[in-house]
Structure 1
C-alpha cells in the first residue's frame, strides 16, 4: 500500500524478493508489463551466458584424466594410457544434469527459502513445465533434425532404460506425496526419500553402465572410444603421418596451408564424441554472437569438405565411370555408364551434355543435352553416344561428356552432388588394328608423398578389339614391401581403349634425409593380336619430398592450434576477457549480421561474467562454485521478474512458470539436443539427456528444497514457545 494525495491506494505486483528496486507506483501497468517482459528476456540471455561458463567448468572437471601404466615386457619400458577419472554416466547425471538444470533447481530453492519455507508456484511449475518441454518438444525436434533417412539409436540402452523408468517414477512419486499420503503437505520422511532417489538413480545407472556386475559375469576389457572419420592424432597429439595420409586422400590440395589446417581441425573436432555440455555451450554461443565451439568454414571450404567425403551428401553422389574413353570412328553408338553411390533412397536427377573439343558436334558426333533421372534405389544409368563415320582421313579427335547439376528442381527431386569424375574425354580413333603397347617414356620421377604412382601405358597404331599385356616390377635400390608395393599383374584394354594406367602404391616413411631410390616396371607377353612397342621397361625414381614434409609439419602445428582454440573453456582471464569483448570471439571474417546484433545486446553480460574465474584455474572447481553462485543470484532476479510480470498480465505463478520461465530456461537444451541428434552417431546425448534431466529436476529441484523446508518446520515445532 502507498499513500497518494492523502489516501491509500493499492500498489499491486510489488512483492518480489529483490525487485522492484524503486517505487513503481506511478507507472502504468502496461508500461511495467512491457519493461518486466523485456527484462525477463534479457535476464534469460544472462542466465544462458553464465550457464555456458558453468558448463565449461563442468567440462573441464569431467575431462580430468589419470595415467594407467601398461607393462610391455621384461626389457621394455612400460607405456601408459590416459583414462577419464569421471565415469560418463555418473558425470551426465550429476554435474552435467546440474549444469543444464541449475536455473530451475536454484529457482525452486530460492523461492521456498524466500517464501518463509513454504512452497511457491514458480519453482515447481518451472520444473514440471521444463520436463514437459524436454519430453515433448525436444524429443520431437531431435527426431525431425536427423538428416535424410538416417537413423540414430541409443548406445547405452541399459542406462537409458534406468533413467526412463525413474523419469516416470519421479512424477508418480509426486502424486503419491502430494495427493496420496499427506495432501498438500510434505513430511520430512517424504522429502528425505525424494532426495535420496537421486543417489539411488546415479548408483543404478552406474551399475547398468558397468553391465550389472554381480548379476552375471562380463569379460573385463579396456575400451577405447572409436569415432567415424579421419584419425589424425597419435598419443593425443597431431600425427604428421596420419595428417599426410588424410591430405593425400582429400581433394583440397590446392588450398592454402591455413585453409587445410582449418579443414583438418574441423574434421578432427566433428568426428569426436562430445558431451551434452559441449553442445549446450555451442548452442548458447551461436545465439549470443560468441566464439563458436567448432571451426567455421568458408563457403569454399564447405564445398571442399563435401567433395572430400561422400558421407556429407544426403542424397548421394553421381559420377561418370571412366575419365577418358577412346572409341573407333566406325563404332556407331556406344553406351556411357553413369553411377550413383552413397545415399540412394531418394529421387534425383542430373544434366548430361556434350562439349566440343577438336571433334565438332554434328560433324563428328551427335550432340547430347538431356536430364537423366535416378529413381530410388537406382544406381546405374546408361546414355547412348553416337559417332558420325565419314570416308575422310582425320587424326584422332576429342570431345567431352559433362555432368552438371540441374536447377529449378520439382518438389519431388532432391539435390545431389557430383563425384570426382564429372567430365569424361572421348577420343575418336580412325585405326582398325589391334595396335602396339608401349610405355609413354623410359622413366618417371615421383615424390614419396604421392601415395600412388600412376604409370601410363599406351596402345598405338590401332585399338581394335580387346587386348591385354602383363607387367611386373623389378627391385633396384627401392625394395618392394619397404618403399613400394610391387608385384605383377595384367592390364586389359577394351575395344577402342588407347590408354590405361598401372597403379603402384608408394610408401612414405616421413624420413627427412635425401634419397633417390628406383625400381623398374616391365611389360611382357601381349595377347589379343597386340605387339610390344619400343619402350617395354620404365624406371620409377622415388625422391624425398622435403617441401611436403615441411608443409606437413606446418599443417600439424596449425591444425593443433586450431583444435586448441576450440576448447570450450578458458585457461586465463586474458583470453576470457578478450573473447568476451570481440564479436564471434575475434573471428571477424566468419561473423554474420546476427552475430553482431546479438554481441551488441549481450555485451554487458559477457563483460560482467568474464570476471568469473576461468575454468583453467584449480581444475575448474573455482569457476564451478563462483558461476553457480552467480546463477543463483540471477535466478532470484528471474523469479521476481517472472512473478511480477505474471501478476501484471493476470497470470497465476504456476502458468507463468510452466510457459515463460520453463521455455526460457530450456531453449539452450533444445538447440543442444538438436545439434547432438544431427552430428552424433548415437542418440544418447540428444534423447538420453531428456530422461536423465527430468529425473534429476524432481529429485534435486524439489527434493532438496522440500528437505530444507521440512527440516525447518519440524525444528520450529520442536522449539519451546
Structure 2
C-alpha cells in the first residue's frame, strides 16, 4: 500500500515519464482488475475483483498492439510510444478546438438591429447581440471548452456496443477536479500584487456553482442510492434535461425575470461579519452594490447617481441596465479619440500607422472578452501562432492608413465640387469684418460655376452681433478660390462667446447665355469647352462638397478672459523630459493679465520625480493661450501612477486693454471702469491639473478599465482559406507581456519548436471552412466532427497506454486525459485572470463547464445506452465503485473550495475571489493544490482496492 501511495503521489506532480517504469515494476504488487469483453452484452453480477489479471481490449479505432505479452523492454518502448502519441494528439485537439472556439466566438458575436423607444417617446435604432452572454457561456462556450471530454464519453459508449466505460466519465470528473482545484488556484496566484478580481455577476455564479455541485451529487444518487449499479432510462434522460434547466435558471437570474422583477436584490458585504447578504427595497444604490449586482456598464469610476439614472432608463426598455446603443458608440468614439491624442503626445516620433496600431491594441486589451477568446489566445500563443491582438491591430492600422491615403469618397470626374476652406472660423468682435473662402475642385476647370451663400443665426444674432449677408459667388474658368466678407459688430457689453453659420446652396454651372454675359467671346464654335465637338463633350455638373456649411465663432473682447487648463488630468511618460501644459484664455482676451501658478506634491515628490515650479504667466492683450513648462525627472525606476498637481491662482488684471481704433480720450473714465468690472478675469472649470507620471510605454500599456462594445470575432475569425494557410505556415512571436510599444518582436526558439511540432495539425486544419462562411456554422460543424475523430483516437491511445503500464482506465482518465484536455483552459484562465477586471471569466466559467460536462457528456451517453438496452429488454449496468467514490470525494472538496472563495470576498481577508495579499494567495494556493493531490491519491488507492469504495 505504501509503495502504491508513493507512486501515485509522484505521478500527480507531473512526473509521468518516470512513472512508466515505476508503475510497471509495481505491477506484481498490485494486480489490475480484468476488463469485461467489449462485445459481450452486460449481465448482472458482482463487480470486478481487484485481484483479477487485466487484459487489454480492442479500441474503438485502434486495435491492441500484438503480441499481448511482450517483454519488459517492449513494454517500456510501447509505453513511450503511446505517451508521445498521446501528447501529440492533445496538441492536435487543442488546435482544432481553437478553430471550433473561433466559430463559436463568431456565432455568439452576431448582432441585429432593434428599435428602442425612449421614455420621452423618441425612437432610436441600435444593434444588440443575438446571443445572451450567460446563455452562450453555458451552451456553445462550454461545449467548445469541453468538447473532447463530452465527445469522449459519448464515443466510448457508442463504440463499445453501448456498454458503460470508465474512461469517459472518469475524464469528466477528473477534468472537473482539475478545473476546480488547479485552474482556480493558479488564477488566484497569478493576479498582480495588491490587485484583486471579484465576480461581477454573483447571481449567475451562485446558480452555476449550485448546479455544478448538484450535478455530481446527482451522479452519486443514481449510481449508489436510487438504483445501485444500474442507470434507468428516466435517470439518464433527467440527467440530460438538467442541462436546459440550468441554462434557463441562469438566464432568469441574469435577466432579473419573475421575482427579480418585483424584488430589487443587491448583494453587499456585511461590514461586521464580512459575508455576502442580499438586500431588498428601495435603498440607495452604492458603488459596491452596482458592481456586485452586475449592472452593465458600471465601473468603479462611475458616479452612482449617473449609473442609476442610466439603469432606470433601461428599465423602460426591459433591459435592466444601461442602453447599449448609440450612446455607447459615441462614447467609444470619444474614447478612441482621447487614446489617440494621448499616444500622439507621448510618442510624437511615431507615424500614423504606428499610432493607430498602438491605439487599437490598447483598446482591445482593455475591453471585456469572452471565454472563447481567452481559450483561442492561449492556444495560439502556445503553438507559436503569435499574439492575435497585436496582429489584428497591425492589420487594422494598415487598412486605416491606406484608406486615408488612397480612398475617400469616389468623386465624379465631371462634377465641380464647391465647399468652404476651412469650415471653421474664429475672430474677436473688434475685428470689423471676416473673410470666408470657398474652394472649387474637381470637374472641368474651363467652365463657369455659381453658388449662393447666406448667413444664419446661431447664438449670435444678425444686426446686433454680425451683419446679415447673402449673395452669389461666380467662379470663372481657372478660378479655384473665391472670398466674401461678413461684417462683425463690436460693442462694449460683456457677452459670452457666440457663433453663427454660413451656408452654401444652389451650386450650378452657368448656361451659355450667362457665360456670354460674364465672358464675352467665351463660347466657341466647338461642341464643348475643349472644342472636341458634341460627340466627345460631357455636360459638366456642380455639387456641394462635404464642408458646405461654415461655423464662425465670435470671441468677446470686452472680457479679460476665463483661464483654465484643457482638462483636469494629464498623463505623461517619465521619459518625456519637459512637458508643456496649455493654459487657455476663453470668453474674451482684453487687457494684460497675470496668472500665478504653482505645483503641489502628491505621490510624486518634487526633486525626485519632477522639478518644482512657481511663477506667473502673463497674457498680453488679445493673447488666448500660453504654455507652462514643467520638467519631469527620469530616474530610470519602475514607477506607476505617481501624481502631482499644478494649481492656477486668481488672475491679476495688470492693464485694461484698448480696442483697435479706439482711444481712451474719446470715452469717459466711468465707462472704462464699468467695462473693467463687467469683464474682470476669472478662473474656469479646470484650475487644478493632476499630472500622472507613468512608466515608459515600452514596458507596459495603460489599463483604463474601459468598457467598450467591440466585436472580437474580427480578431479571432478568418475570412478566406488563403488567410488560414498563410497563418498555418507562419511563425509568429508568442507571449509578449513585456513588449507593448507596438514594435515587432522576433519569434523565440520556443516559438519555432512549437511551430514545427504543430505545423502538420495547423496545415491539416487549415482546410476547415473559414469562420466567415455561413455565419460561423460551417466551421462549427466541420470542427466538431474532426474533434470527434481525434477524441476517438485519443481515447484508444489513453486506454492502451494505461493497459501497457498497468493503470486502470479510471486512473488514466483522472490523471493523463483530464490533464491533457485541460491544459489550454489553464492558460486561458491565467490570461483572463491577469487581463480581465472581473473574475467571471476565470471562475464562473469553471463552475458552468463542470455542470455542463455532466449533463451533456454523461447525460447524452447514458441516455443513448439506456434507451438501447431498454429497447432490447435488458438493463444498462454501470459499476458504481470508482466513479461513485470519485464523485463523492470531488463534491465534498468542491463545496469547501466554493466556501473558501466566498470567504475571500471579505475586505479583511483578500477583498475578492482572486488575488489579494501575498499571504492570502499562498494559503489559498496551498489549500487548493492539497485538495487536488488528495483527490488523485485517494481515487487511485480506491481504484486498486487499497481503501474501500462504494
User: Structure 2: how far apart are the matches of 1:713 and 1:113?
Assistant: 12
Paired position in structure 2 for 1:130: 175
Paired position in structure 2 for 1:155: 200
| Superposition TM-score, scaled by structure 2 size | 0.48
Q: Does 1:211 align with 2:256?
A: yes
Contact 1:291-1:579 at 8 Å conserved across structures? no
Unaligned runs of 5+ in 1: 1-9, 299-309, 325-334, 342-380, 383-400, 404-421, 428-434, 447-452, 458-465, 478-485, 492-500, 505-559
Change in 2 beyond 3 A, CA 1:563/1:588 = farther
Change in 2 beyond 3 A, CA 1:156/1:713 = same
Match for residue 713 of structure 1 among 864, 869, 878: 869
Contact 1:122-1:654 at 8 Å conserved across structures? yes
Match for residue 799 of structure 2 among 640, 643, 649: 643
Q: Does 1:188 align with 2:233?
A: yes
Paired position in structure 2 for 1:488: 681
The structure with more radius of gyration: 2
Change in 2 beyond 3 A, CA 1:150/1:675 = same
Q: CA deviation at 1:580?
A: 1.3
Paired position in structure 2 for 1:106: 151
Change in 2 beyond 3 A, CA 1:320/1:294 = closer
Match for residue 611 of structure 2 among 421, 424, 440: 424
User: Structure 1: how far apart are the matches of 2:659 and 2:823?
Assistant: 67
Count of aligned pairs between the two proteins? 514
Paired position in structure 1 for 2:116: 70
Unaligned runs of 5+ in 2: 1-52, 265-292, 303-323, 395-568, 582-597, 631-647, 661-678, 690-707, 735-742, 876-950
Contact 2:621-2:657 at 8 Å conserved across structures? no
User: Structure 2: how far apart are the matches of 1:655 and 1:616?
Assistant: 41
Paired position in structure 1 for 2:59: 16
RMSD: 4.7
User: Structure 1: how far apart are the matches of 2:730 and 2:798?
Assistant: 31
Q: CA deviation at 1:670?
A: 1.3
Contact 1:577-1:607 at 8 Å conserved across structures? yes
Paired position in structure 2 for 1:61: 107
Paired position in structure 2 for 1:31: 77
Match for residue 124 of structure 2 among 74, 79, 90: 79
Contact 2:106-2:717 at 8 Å conserved across structures? yes
User: Structure 1: how far apart are the matches of 2:755 and 2:388?
Assistant: 16
Paired position in structure 1 for 2:90: 44
User: Structure 2: how far apart are the matches of 1:502 and 1:442?
Assistant: 21
- Of the structure 1 ranges 244-253 and 663-672, higher mean CA displacement relative to structure 2 is found in 244-253
User: Structure 2: how far apart are the matches of 1:164 and 1:222?
Assistant: 17
User: Structure 2: how far apart are the matches of 1:43 and 1:68?
Assistant: 45
Match for residue 603 of structure 2 among 323, 340, 343: 340
Paired position in structure 2 for 1:248: 341
Q: Does 1:169 align with 2:214?
A: yes
User: Structure 2: how far apart are the matches of 1:19 and 1:226?
Assistant: 54
Change in 2 beyond 3 A, CA 1:614/1:206 = same
Q: CA deviation at 1:90?
A: 0.9
Match for residue 454 of structure 1 among 608, 617, 627: 627
- Of the structure 1 ranges 64-73 and 195-204, higher mean CA displacement relative to structure 2 is found in 64-73
Paired position in structure 2 for 1:536: none
Match for residue 178 of structure 1 among 189, 206, 223: 223
Cα displacement string for residues 426-466 of structure 1 (whole angstroms, at most 9, x for unaligned residues): 89xxxxxxx9x7738777697xxxxxx53689xxxxxxxx9
Q: CA deviation at 1:248?
A: 3.1
Change in 2 beyond 3 A, CA 1:565/1:114 = closer
Q: Does 1:595 align with 2:751?
A: yes
Q: CA deviation at 1:149?
A: 1.6
Change in 2 beyond 3 A, CA 1:605/1:283 = same
Other structure's SS at 1:294 match: helix
User: Structure 1: how far apart are the matches of 2:617 and 2:850?
Assistant: 73
Match for residue 284 of structure 1 among 369, 373, 379: 379
Contact 1:578-1:585 at 8 Å conserved across structures? no
Change in 2 beyond 3 A, CA 1:67/1:228 = farther
Other structure's SS at 1:584 match: coil
Contact 1:229-1:267 at 8 Å conserved across structures? no
Q: CA deviation at 1:82?
A: 0.6
Contact 1:323-1:424 at 8 Å conserved across structures? no
Matches within 5 A, 1:241-390: 242-250=335-343, 251-295=346-390, 339-340=602-603
User: Structure 1: how far apart are the matches of 2:263 and 2:778?
Assistant: 39
Cα displacement string for residues 492-524 of structure 1 (whole angstroms, at most 9, x for unaligned residues): xxxxxxxxx9999xxxxxxxxxxxxxxxxxxxx
